[in-house]
A and B are shown apart, each in its own frame.
Chain A
Amino acid sequence: MPKTSWSLAFRLTAWYTIASLLLLLASTGTLYWALVANLERDATLFLADKVHVITTLLRERPNDWDGLKEEIQLESAARRYNQFYMRLLDAHGNTLLETLQMSLVLPAASFERLSKGATQIKSTRASLYQATEVIAPVGGTQGVNWKIQIAVSLAQQQQVLARYRQWLWAILSASFILCPLVGYQIARRGIRPVRYVAETAKRIGSSTLNERIQSEGYPIELADLALTFNAMLDRLKESFERLTRFSADLAHELRTPVNNIRGEIEVALARSRTTHEYREVLVSNLEETVRLSELIGSLLFLARTESPGTHIKREVVSMSELLESVRDYYEGPADQAGVALAVSAPHGLQAMLDRSLIQRALGNLVSNALAHTPSGGRIDLSAGQSSAGVEICVSDSGCGIPQESLPRLFDRFYRVDQARSQQQSGGFGLGLSIVRGIMLLHGGQVQIVSELGKGTRVTLLSQAFEPPFESPAEGLSDKNVILA
């Protein structure tokens, strides 16, 4: 089942609304309840007060009939608000005194409900009264107990409560409409920066990678998001430029041989030639296609080193043996160039790596070093244990690499000396990219340190170079140990 995804503004609004309505409901409810309790307490106190007056009168001055009459009949009858009724009954239940017309409104029988625990009774006209019944001893005489019935009208209270309830409903209904509206506005304001970020992101295409989100004026969370987003754009832009440059360089590298092949064939076919001339053209074409094949091979190799699924065939390799095999291979060219090629590796140092891949990487490095080291110079191949694993170094006493070229060294088709054409250098400018690709496959990295006029030192480092078993660190082989 696909999960419905509501807009952020909608969700925020819904939560605001629900939360504020609940709060409002709780607070108004509490207030209402407090009001009800307060009013009830007022009535109870009023009744208690009256009862106290009458019982005191009966106890202190039982014969003051006028006083009783005054209290019971007249005072209550004179009241317009908070109207109350009072009745005095003797021990047999006969009415002695009562507020005028009380028997019409609240006959003695209507007080019977009180004995069942109620505090409120209804009049004959169905309005609500708070009532109480008290037994009062008369004049302190033992055994003579009269009964006081007293009730106060709740009509006014109920009016107050009814008005209050009306207000509550009005406020609640208004909130029910206003909360979502206000909430939605707040949510919209709150997420406006997000929308802006999204809009900027939408605007950015391959040709507008320069656009950035301004990170000022945003809340912290969004400023962070904007910065992250900008950093991502920087990286994207960089790889995009790299890719564009790569395509352009690739096209250029392909154009030269293809152009040669095409031109030579066209010229050859323009008129009839001797077998020897045809042969020359074919051979020349063959050379160009060999170059193309090499280029394709190198590019495929690079593509493979970058695909995450590529596996390498690791085996236990002795470092000194590995370096010597590379030295053997390059000895001839080094000799011819008048460059000393030396190997130094701790005896017995071993590592798990793909032998032919590392040979290839080292081959590229030595070949570069040879091309940039003048006669009389030297190239050192060395291996050693580092804190991370094993490191292999190729250092030369050559011309070095200018500082500004260092960041681009690993770019495909990049040549430090752009003027040096591929025919002269013999390479495509893919060598170091391949070296890095090989080290990536091994989970390692390449480090280049160079000083103009002094030489270059390339170090292949990898944690994955960990030797499979303890190798004796002592006893550096004394042959070929030359330190520059």
Chain B
Amino acid sequence: MKILVVDDEAKTARFLRKGLREAGFVVDVAGDGEEAIHLAGELPFDLIVLDVMIPKADGWQVLVTLRGHGIETPILLLTAKDAVADRVKGFELGADDYLVKPFAFSELLARVKSLLKRSPVRQQEKLRVADLEIDLVRHRAVRSGHRVDLTAKEFVLLTFLVRRASEVLSRTMIAEEVWDMNFDSDTNVVDVNVRRLRSKVDDPFPRKLIKTVRGVGYVINGEDM
């Protein structure tokens, strides 16, 4: 998978390249709009991470030019402005997703992954992590053969974690996905809910599946830390 990162901030570009490479992607970096247009026209990328405030041609221009040339590569916009109007403008011009600086790298990674596998996902009936099994049809979670009694929201939360198993999910992403809360204040609420989920899913068992990643969020996986 090949990703083009467009950002004129050297440090930002560097950590994006490093992080994305370590996540298994091939990364090219463009420092300005013209270079971005040139590279995207020459090479086949699977995704473009595009900063809006870049020299020579800004992100909007790059976006319009690429879409004008019939290049339909998914584009993730990065911007320092969180204005709704900007967000709407981005989507109208053909961007696929939008992230406001400062952002959590884990969130960028999660969005990149979800953009790359946006192709139709086969509807699974059962999800599994280690000895935890989720039956989506019957709305049931079973661990080591014991049924785990969950509320509706807890079930949605667990399903979200398991679907994105091994991906670190930020509190904001969880709040957005599970409760449809599109703001990142008072993320303590997510902590409380995860704690309650843990008390049912992990507490009775010696092996803990839900892990806290300090400063980032939560992840569910079968590996031992």
Chain A contacts to B: CB under 8 angstroms:
283-284, 286-287, 289-290, 292-294, 296-298, 300-301, 304, 310-313, 325, 328-333, 335-336, 356, 359-360, 363-364, 367, 426-427, 431, 434
Inter-chain pairs besides A289-B102, A332-B193, A367-B186, 20 sampled, C-beta below 8 Å: A283-B215, A287-B215, A289-B215, A293-B102, A293-B103, A296-B102, A300-B81, A304-B83, A313-B88, A325-B179, A328-B153, A333-B189, A335-B196, A336-B196, A359-B181, A360-B181, A360-B183, A363-B185, A426-B188, A427-B186
CA distance A98 to B181 in the complex (A): 128
Check B184 for interface membership: any CB of A closer than 8 A: yes
Over the window 103-125 of chain B, the binary record of Cβ atoms lying under 8 Å from chain A Cβ atoms (1 yes, 0 no) is 11000000000000000000000
CA distance A294 to B183 in the complex (A): 11
Contact A329 B189 (CB under 8 A): yes
- Within 32-88 of B, Cβ neighbours of A (below 8 Å) are at 81-85, 88
Query: Most B CB atoms within 10 A — which of A283, A290, A298, A427?
Result: A290
Contacts known (A297-B82, A363-B186, A367-B186); A286 close to B181, Cβ less than 8 A: no
Check B175 for interface membership: any CB of A closer than 8 A: yes
CA distance A427 to B189 in the complex (A): 13
CA distance A359 to B182 in the complex (A): 8
Contact B215 A290 (CB under 8 A): yes
Measured between beta carbons, the chain A residues less than 8 angstroms from B183 are 356, 359-360, 363
Measured between beta carbons, the chain A residues less than 8 angstroms from B189 are 329-330, 332-333, 367
Check B180 for interface membership: any CB of A closer than 8 A: yes
Over the window 165-204 of chain B, the binary record of Cβ atoms lying under 8 Å from chain A Cβ atoms (1 yes, 0 no) is 0000000000100011111111011001100100000000
CA distance A442 to B216 in the complex (A): 33
- Main DSSP-derived SS at the B contact region: loop
Measured between beta carbons, the chain A residues less than 8 angstroms from B188 are 333, 367, 426
Closest 5 pairs between A and B when the two form their complex, measured CB to CB: A286-B215, A356-B182, A293-B102, A360-B183, A287-B215
Counted as pairs of residues, one from A and one from B, with CB atoms less than 8 Å apart, the total is: 81
Measured between beta carbons, the chain A residues less than 8 angstroms from B215 are 283-284, 286-287, 289-290
In the complex, 9 of the A-B residue pairs with CB atoms within 8 angstroms, ordered by the A residue number, are A284-B215, A286-B216, A297-B184, A310-B83, A313-B84, A325-B181, A332-B189, A360-B185, A367-B186
Measured between beta carbons, the chain A residues less than 8 angstroms from B214 are 283, 286-287
Contact A311 B153 (CB under 8 A): no
Query: Most B CB atoms within 10 A — which of A313, A328, A329?
Result: A329
A27 to chain B, nearest CB (A): 71
Task: From the candidates A284, A329, A426, name the one contacting B181 in the complex (CB within 8 A).
Answer: A329
Measured between beta carbons, the chain B residues less than 8 angstroms from A427 are 186
CA distance A333 to B214 in the complex (A): 20
Contact B179 A329 (CB under 8 A): yes
B158 to chain A, nearest CB (A): 14
CA distance A241 to B106 in the complex (A): 41
Contact B83 A367 (CB under 8 A): no
Contacts known (A289-B102, A332-B192); A312 close to B181, Cβ less than 8 A: no
- Within 199-219 of B, Cβ neighbours of A (below 8 Å) are at 214-216
CA distance A333 to B188 in the complex (A): 8
CA distance A356 to B176 in the complex (A): 10
CA distance A252 to B59 in the complex (A): 35
Contact B85 A311 (CB under 8 A): yes
CA distance A441 to B185 in the complex (A): 19
CA distance A367 to B187 in the complex (A): 10
Measured between beta carbons, the chain A residues less than 8 angstroms from B184 are 294, 297
Measured between beta carbons, the chain A residues less than 8 angstroms from B83 are 304, 310
Q: Which residue of A lies closest to B80 (CB)?
A: A300
Measured between beta carbons, the chain B residues less than 8 angstroms from A296 are 102
CA distance A332 to B216 in the complex (A): 21
B218 to chain A, nearest CB (A): 14
